[in-house]
Structure 1
Amino acid sequence: MRVGLLGTGPWARRTHGPALAAHPAVDFAGVWGRRPEAAAEVAALFGVRAYEDADALIADVDAVAVALPPGPQARFAIRAAEAGRHLLLDKPLAATAAEARSVADAVERAGVRSVVFFTLRFDTGAAGWIAEQAAAGGWFTARADWFGAVFAPDESPSTSPYADSPWRKEKGGLWDVGPHALSVLLPLLGDVTSVHAAQGPRDTVHLTLRHDSGASSTSVLTLSAPPAAAGVAIELRGARGVASYPQDLTGPSTQAMANALDVLTSGATHACDARFGARVTEILAAAQDALG
């Protein structure tokens, strides 16, 4: 499968590019970016062509991998789907619920395949743990907390390669790490029926959800935790007791991306498609509205 990459930021360089270059079923065709000089740099890293025009890249490939902020991602995803190209997308799918639904609608109209890269759902260890807990069922409540340190307090300067990301500065932890939490909670507890949110320090959001299984969940989501407090905590409680996510279970993002490419290139289906990505975006937007 000939695959082109849209995007040139740290995620494209550290995850998409290496996975595309190494995958045995992928012919990595080239890179386009909003800054031509950045596209040239990324293309040189992987020995592929730098495209000056996104539509020219889309015309030359079978599928498009997108490593762009959510707003541009939605626009290019629709263009690629309408051109009949399969899609490997990132989360959040779009900057608004309406844009996300438009992506999912375009995918379905075109009959193309879509995979949205919710990292834990494609990580072998994490996906296995989620499937095991979903099969066990009977969960009464859950928490899924993501404490990122991308925008660390002033006394602890951030070393994150994503600290210069304008969309993360604008949207904060709710939109950046919220999709991770929801990608775990929804397969375990079911769809969300009500959303409540409260603002914490800096970009921190406290999220409370009710699910159609009757269970409830909470999430603390931030990109501005002190580095010493950063980390992920997932805990489920139910009739069988307590299940906690093992801290050392998650592997490198490049391997998870390779697993996502396995799905895309094989023609298999996966629960994390554009429609699921749109549903996650709808929940994020409802939480944003609840913040006022």
Structure 2
Amino acid sequence: MKMLRIGLVGTGPWASSTHAPALAAHPDVEFSGAWGRRPDAADALASAHGTTAYADVDELFAASDAVAFAVPPDVQAPLAARAAAAGCHLLLDKPVATTVAAARDLAAAAEAARVASVVFFTLRFAGPTSAWVSEQAATEGWFTGRADWYGSFYSPDGTSPFSSPWRAQRGGLWDVGPHALSVLMPVLGDVTDVTAAAGQADLVHVILRHTGGASSTATLSLTTPAKASGVTVELRGEAGTALMPSGGGALDAFGSAVDALVDSVRSGRPHACDVRFGLRVTEILAQAEEQLPAG
């Protein structure tokens, strides 16, 4: 079968270190071009990977069968809706949007255009964590879980080249909250009730009730002191206790997400992490945010 032409929207650190190298190296993909809000960055990224930099995003859509996105969520949502309307399949970043209205518009555009979609929830595509989620989802009797996500992007003693203004503004709820939901929901079921409380800085505590009666908690932050940072996902049930292993690298995980999109395009089967799941994650996080103090 012919190679899938995938273009890239975005030229920042994630696009340069993960998205572009994975697209350029994928055996079933032709890296069809790049577009960014900074033309000089788009030129540099395209030159590094032997593809074309486009000055007009719609020209990139016209030259592509699918488009990957590495831009802030509220930039991504309307651009991805335009890409879907142009007939492009979608490889989206999480969260798909930070407002329910924008996420619903995107999901509706993808459905109307009948395009395939995959949302890159890293832990659902990294080998060790993906296998762990599948194993626990096949095990019955879990009654509770917890996902503790203590990031140090914005602590005085912890910085990251992947920090960005939207993360600083929206905090851990919107940046690492999608990761927590992406591993808790496949195992415990959809969320029926949400309770949220604020802690220091951007720290948020979320309590979730799932279909079937299980419950879980998520503790989310990007401002944890570096020495206290870390990630733990734990399940408890009739089988005992299960701890999620460390994940693989982002580059390999994104390659697996590309695999998933290629398979969905060719088979016509929707992926579990499609735009509809992305919409559901945005709905749940928006419910949590409504319960937090303004600002």
> What TM-score do the two structures reach when normalised by structure 1?
0.96
Q: CA RMSD in A?
A: 1.0
The residue number in structure 2 matching 1:277 is 278
Tell me which of 68, 87, 92 is aligned to 1:65: 68
1:35 maps to 38
Distance in 2 (alpha carbons) for counterparts of 1:231 and 1:20: 29
1:213 maps to amino acid: G
Matched, 1:139 2:136: no
Q: State the distance in 1 between where 2:238 and 2:106 align.
A: 39
Q: Residues of 2 paired with 1:84 and 1:41: CA distance?
A: 27
Q: Percent identity?
A: 58
Shift of 1:43: 1.4
Is 1:20 paired with 2:23? yes
Match of 2:224 in 1: 225
* Whole-Å separation in 2 of the counterparts to 1:46 and 1:213: 48
Report deviation, 1:265: 1.6
CA offsets 1:185-208 (integer angstroms, 9 cap, x no match): 100111111111111111111111
What are the within-5 Å matches in structure 2 for residues 123-272 of structure 1? 123-152=126-155, 154=156, 156=157, 158-163=158-163, 165-247=164-246, 250-266=247-263, 267=265, 268=267, 269-272=270-273
Contact 2:97–2:103 at 8 Å: present in 1 too? yes
- Cα distance in 1 for partners of 2:88, 2:96 equals 17
Q: 1:126 is paired with a residue of what secondary structure?
A: helix
Q: Which runs of 5+ in 1 are unaligned?
A: none
Secondary structure at the counterpart of residue 159 of structure 2: coil
AA aligned to 1:150 is: F
1: distance between equivalents of 2:48 and 2:284? 37
Cα distance in 1 for residues equivalent to 2:102 and 2:140: 33
Give yes or no for contact 2:11–2:70 (8 Å, CA) kept in 1. Answer: yes
Distance in 2 between residues matched to 1:3 and 1:131, nearest whole Å: 28
Number of aligned pairs? 286
CA–CA separation in structure 1 for the residues paired with 2:168 and 2:13 = 15
1:82 aligns with 2:85: yes
- Whole-angstrom distance in 2 between the partners of 1:200 and 1:137: 33
- Find the aligned partners of 1:199 and 1:166 in 2 and give their Cα distance: 20
- The code of the aligned residue for 2:61 comes to I
2:169 is matched by which residue type in structure 1? E
Matches of 1:122 and 1:108, distance apart in 2: 23
Offset of residue 87 of structure 1: 0.5
CA distance in 2 between counterparts of 1:229 and 1:41 reads 37
What SS class does the counterpart of residue 89 from structure 1 fall into?
Answer: strand
Does the residue aligned with 1:51 lie in a helix, a strand or coil? coil
Please state if 1:9 is matched with 2:12: yes
Secondary structure of the structure 2 residue equivalent to 1:40 = helix
Displacement, 1:246? 2.1
Given that 1:74 and 1:100 are in contact with CA atoms closer than 8 Å, whether structure 2 keeps it comes out as yes
Is the 2:128–2:245 Cα contact (8 Å) retained in structure 1? no
CA distance in 2, matches of 1:179, 1:196: 16
Structure 2 SS opposite 1:221: strand
Give the secondary structure class of the aligned counterpart of 1:49.
Answer: coil
Q: Say if 1:195 and 1:290, in contact at 8 Å, map to a contact too.
A: no
- SS of residue in 2 equivalent to 1:291: coil
Q: Which secondary structure state, in structure 1, belongs to the residue aligned with residue 271 of structure 2?
A: coil
Cα distance in 2 for partners of 1:147, 1:46 equals 34
Q: Is the 8 A contact 2:103 2:282 kept in 1?
A: yes
266-275 vs 172-181, greater mean Cα deviation: 266-275
CA offset at residue 82 of structure 1? 0.5
**Does structure 1 conserve the Cα–Cα contact (< 8 Å) formed by 2:140 and 2:238?**
no
TM-score, length-scaled by structure 2: 0.95
